[in-house]
């Protein structure tokens, strides 16, 4: 019996050592709670993360001893889960500025709010171009709700399928509304309220609500320019065991279990960069019928450009399929912008996009750039700088079609000049006899007089 227990402990220890998440950023997650006692409310969610190989550390927002996310300018964690919406101020000056610094270092954040959101989360949402509704206000929908509870929404459709194509069961949501200022081009809502939804408190509705319908954002996402990913939601309850295991009754349909766990799993896979991550394997360009990159190109050279791109999903690199990857040849402004063609597959883990083209009829230093930005996918930026030279003096063609009028004018003038010269040199006038005798007689008369 002792041997069996020892063997089990060894297996568990080995699993902890070798378990590794599928996230490309790492497996260290810090979970910040309002109170550590609330950890048991999210046990299913936390277990799903641990099953995916993540190493979770739990801390209270008011824990002065253990709350730390950056030390000596290095991030202590790869991802943050903020399940402390009601705490106004986090200990150790962990505030919006530190969270932004964490994002700048490549970290990812999942943050939650509720109807009593504290200043810490409000300040962070403001940095992302979003706000929450007034304190005490809940999202209410008298049509799309679970059973007889109007403030527990049952959402059947995704506004933007960033990580999940469709919902197998409605997602239960109870919390506040997130409002976006619409000025952040890197933010996009994933889950929005129905057309009949509105945000209000427990009192009777006496005036038009400030935010209604599809303008109410339930789950908001943002991807920073360094590919860090942020997920914002106005409901911390949607992550609880109660909402995950709750049956759903929506109109005439009933479901044994909500779609919360499926939705949460997929949105956190995107959030923690376990999927929809692109990378450039290689890129090259050269003259047609050659294989090496030259030191420079000459105007109007025919060249071949290709780039190899791979997509990461659930622990595997796969070929990336797209029809809108573009190449730009830039010198201050793009001189050429063209769409690359996806080539037949030759590698099981990547796709090749290529094109044959002529370099611009303009000399200078050009940048060959592929800047691929599609929301939901990590941004791609691949560039190479190379000079384009004019033709050498001995590379110009002898005659140009455009110069034919000038050639004709020059040769016609030369021919005319030669003709006039020959006429001047060899033309001789014939003598008139009558004129000569008349001249002789006039001379004799002059002498006689």
Instruction: Give residue 11's pLDDT.
Output: 45
Handedness of CA 411, 414, 420, 425 (dihedral sign): negative
Residue 311: name the closest of 354, 270, 370 by CA: 270
Q: Model-level pTM?
A: 0.83
- What mean pLDDT comes out for the span 421-443? 70
| In the predicted structure, residue 446 carries a pLDDT above the cut 90 | no
pLDDT band at 143 (very low <50, low <70, confident <90, very high): confident
Q: Which residue has the higher pLDDT, 14 or 276?
A: 276
pLDDT band at 442 (very low <50, low <70, confident <90, very high): low
| In the predicted structure, residue 320 carries a pLDDT above the cut 80 | yes
Instruction: Give residue 16's pLDDT.
Output: 42
Phi, psi of 24 (to 5 degrees): -75, -15
- What mean pLDDT comes out for the span 85-94? 93
| Angstrom distance (rounded) from CA 325 to CA 63 | 48
Distances (CA, A) of 421 to 206, 428, 429: 107, 13, 16
| In the predicted structure, residue 447 carries a pLDDT above the cut 80 | no
| In the predicted structure, residue 68 carries a pLDDT above the cut 80 | yes
pLDDT band at 18 (very low <50, low <70, confident <90, very high): very low
| Angstrom distance (rounded) from CA 369 to CA 334 | 10
Question: How many CB atoms lie under 10 A from the CB of residue 75?
Answer: 21
**Tokens 């409002």 sit at which residue?**
179
Instruction: Give residue 253's pLDDT.
Output: 87
pLDDT digits (tens, 9 = 90+) for 336-374: 999 999 999 889 999 999 999 999 999 999 999 999 999
Question: Which of 81-85, 118-122, 402-406 is the least confident region?
Answer: 402-406
Instruction: Give residue 420's pLDDT.
Output: 92
Instruction: Give residue 162's pLDDT.
Output: 83
**Tokens 């009777």 sit at which residue?**
204
Instruction: Give residue 5's pLDDT.
Output: 46
| Angstrom distance (rounded) from CA 63 to CA 360 | 62
| Angstrom distance (rounded) from CA 119 to CA 134 | 12
pLDDT digits (tens, 9 = 90+) for 91-101: 999 999 999 99
| In the predicted structure, residue 140 carries a pLDDT above the cut 70 | yes
- What HEC string does the chain produce? CHHHHHHHHHHHHHHHHHCCCCCCCCCEEEEEECCHHHHHHHHHHHHHHHHCCCEEEEEECCCCCCCCCEECCEECCCEEEEECCCCCCCHHHCCHHHHHHHHHCCCEEEEECCCCCCHHHHHHHHHCCEEECCCCCEEECCCCEECCEEEEEEECCCCCCCCCCCCCCCEEECCCCEEECCCCCCEEEEEECCCCCEEECCCCCCCCCCCEHHHCEEEEEEECCCCCEEEEECCCHHHCHHHHHCCEEECCEEECCCCHHHHHHHHHHHHCCCEEEEEEEEEEEEECCCCCCCCEEECCCEEEEEEEEEEEECCEEEECCCCCCEEEEEECEEEEEEECEECCCCECCEEEEEEEEECCCCCEEEEEEEEECCCCCCCEEEEEEEEEECCCCCCCCCCCHHHHHHHHHHHHHHHHHHHHHHHHHHCCCCCCHHHHHHHHHHHHHHHHC
| In the predicted structure, residue 297 carries a pLDDT above the cut 70 | yes
CB 199 within 8 A of CB 210: yes
Classify domain 276-389 at the CATH topology level: Immunoglobulin-like (2.60.40)
| In the predicted structure, residue 160 carries a pLDDT above the cut 90 | no
- What mean pLDDT comes out for the span 244-254? 90
| Angstrom distance (rounded) from CA 100 to CA 296 | 42
Distances (CA, A) of 44 to 39, 79, 101, 123, 439: 10, 19, 30, 29, 136
Instruction: Give residue 209's pLDDT.
Output: 82
Phi, psi of 415 (to 5 degrees): -65, -40
Query: How does the average pLDDT of the chain come out, rounded?
Result: 89
Residue 270: name the closest of 324, 231, 239 by CA: 231
- What mean pLDDT comes out for the span 9-34? 71
pLDDT digits (tens, 9 = 90+) for 379-392: 999 999 999 999 88
Residue 300: name the closest of 396, 393, 398, 403 by CA: 396
| Angstrom distance (rounded) from CA 54 to CA 77 | 11
| In the predicted structure, residue 181 carries a pLDDT above the cut 60 | yes
The CATH number corresponding to 2-273 among 1.10.357, 3.90.1580, 3.90.1720, 3.40.50 equals 3.40.50
Question: Which of 277-291, 365-379, 392-406 is the least confident region?
Answer: 392-406
| Angstrom distance (rounded) from CA 133 to CA 143 | 21
pLDDT band at 121 (very low <50, low <70, confident <90, very high): very high
| In the predicted structure, residue 277 carries a pLDDT above the cut 90 | yes
CB 167 within 8 A of CB 158: yes
């Amino acid at each position: 019996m002792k041997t069996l227990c020892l063997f089990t402990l060894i297996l568990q220890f080995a699993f902890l050592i070798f378990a590794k998440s599928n996230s490309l950023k790492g497996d260290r997650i810090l979970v910040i709670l309002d109170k550590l006692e609330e950890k048991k409310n999210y046990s299913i969610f936390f277990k799903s993360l641990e099953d995916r190989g993540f190493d979770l550390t739990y801390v209270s927002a008011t824990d002065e001893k253990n709350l730390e996310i950056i030390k000596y300018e290095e991030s202590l964690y790869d991802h943050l889960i903020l399940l402390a919406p009601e705490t106004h101020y986090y200990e150790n000056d962990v505030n919006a500025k530190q969270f932004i610094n964490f994002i700048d270092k490549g970290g990812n954040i999942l943050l939650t709010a509720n109807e009593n959101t504290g200043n810490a989360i409000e300040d962070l949402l403001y940095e992302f171009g979003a706000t929450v509704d007034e304190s005490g206000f809940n999202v209410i929908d008298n049509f799309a709700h679970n059973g007889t509870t109007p403030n527990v929404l049952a959402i059947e459709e995704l506004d933007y399928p960033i990580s999940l194509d469709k919902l197998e069961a409605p997602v239960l949501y109870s919390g506040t509304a997130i409002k976006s200022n619409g000025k952040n081009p890197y933010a996009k809502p994933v889950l929005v309220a129905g057309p009949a939804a509105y945000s209000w408190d427990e009192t009777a509705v006496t005036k038009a609500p400030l935010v209604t319908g599809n303008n109410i954002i339930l789950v908001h996402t943002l991807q920073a320019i360094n590919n860090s990913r942020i997920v914002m939601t106005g409901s911390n309850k949607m992550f609880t065991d109660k909402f995950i295991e709750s049956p759903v009754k929506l109109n005439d349909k009933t479901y044994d279990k909500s779609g919360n766990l499926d939705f949460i799993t997929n949105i956190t896979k995107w959030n923690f960069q376990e999927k929809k991550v692109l990378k450039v394997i290689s890129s090259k360009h050269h003259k047609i019928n050659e294989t090496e990159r030259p030191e420079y190109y000459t105007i109007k050279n025919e060249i071949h450009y290709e780039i190899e791109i791979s997509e990461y999903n659930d622990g595997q690199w796969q070929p990336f399929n797209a029809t809108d990857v573009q190449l730009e040849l830039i010198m201050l402004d793009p001189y050429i912008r063209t769409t690359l063609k996806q080539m037949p597959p030759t590698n099981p883990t990547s796709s090749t996009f290529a094109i044959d083209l002529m370099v611009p009829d303009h000399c200078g230093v050009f940048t060959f750039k592929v800047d691929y930005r599609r929301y939901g996918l990590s941004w791609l930026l691949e560039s190479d700088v190379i000079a384009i030279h004019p033709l050498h003096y001995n590379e110009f063609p002898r005659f140009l079609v455009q110069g034919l009028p000038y050639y004709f004018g020059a040769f016609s003038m030369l021919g005319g000049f030669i003709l006039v010269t020959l006429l001047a040199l060899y033309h001789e006038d014939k003598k008139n006899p009558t004129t000569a005798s008349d001249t002789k007689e006039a001379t004799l008369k002059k002498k006689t007089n």
